[in-house]
Amino acid sequence: MNKNVLRKILRSFRQHISAFDIGILVVGFICLLVFFLFFYRKSETITIRVKVTDQDVLYQRTEPTMWYANRFFVGDKELDALGRTITEIVGIDMFPVDSKHKAVYLDLKVKAVYDTRTKTYSTHGKTLMFGTPMRFNVSKVTFDGFVTEFPGSEKDAGVKIGKATVKALARNLEPSIASAITPGSKILDSNQLLLAEITDVTVTPAEKVTTTDAGDLLLRYDPLYKDALITVDIRTKTVGKDVYIFDNLPLKIGEPLPLHLENVSVPSNIDNRGIPSNLDTKNIFPIIVNFTPVPVPT
């Protein structure tokens, strides 16, 4: 009975529809399919990396303070109104940039939408691009940051990791500070990745320029303060022709080289440098350049 009714309906439909109507239906279906494919957005979970910055827009280049940086921990989450996880901290990479601040990078697992038309991801109402500023509210801390890595970004980064041997000169140090700089001292990030290691230290009396009553300039040596010539094997990051250390400090002669060791903080300046080479898997730093130590005056 049901089959007969269905046949009658199909027969009636074929009698009242023309080839033109069929064409209209086909065109309409194709338009709907194209519209769907053009505007379709796929929701998925991705991992991005952000650099934590100051919340004040006027100080976004400022690194977070030590106590603020220590508030982050792996597993902290941001939830939506329904209690669903939209952001989770899955990795933390931080290291000191001076005696009061740390550079903090966070690996975040976020809910994102992929736009097939523009081939971009978006989350928290913003398109993920390098430098996109974003605010996150995890359970323990609110922080601002800008995006540094996202799916596909590594193809265009052009960043090469390497190493170099540099000479840093620290002048007019207290004797206690100079004696605390020892070969083998290391600078590590929060994941115990080696950033820098002191391989040699030459300590001499601090040089001073004095003027005689006749106006002559004389080079003298301070009886108390010390100069230290420090050889450092350091991890580098090369972008194009520019070489950086400790996140964003340029590796150039005359630039400051802050050495924040476990028990001492030493301000110094780069005196000479080696040529960065590709990192090897053994994390061994070969001496790339030879230097002549400053002789201790007699």
pLDDT tens readout for residues 7-21: 666 666 666 666 666
pLDDT tens readout for residues 73-126: 898 998 888 888 889 999 998 888 877 888 899 999 998 888 777 788 888 888
- pTM higher than 0.75, yes or no? no
User: So where are the chain's domains?
Assistant: 41-157, 159-278
CA torsion through residues 139, 151, 146, 158, sign: positive
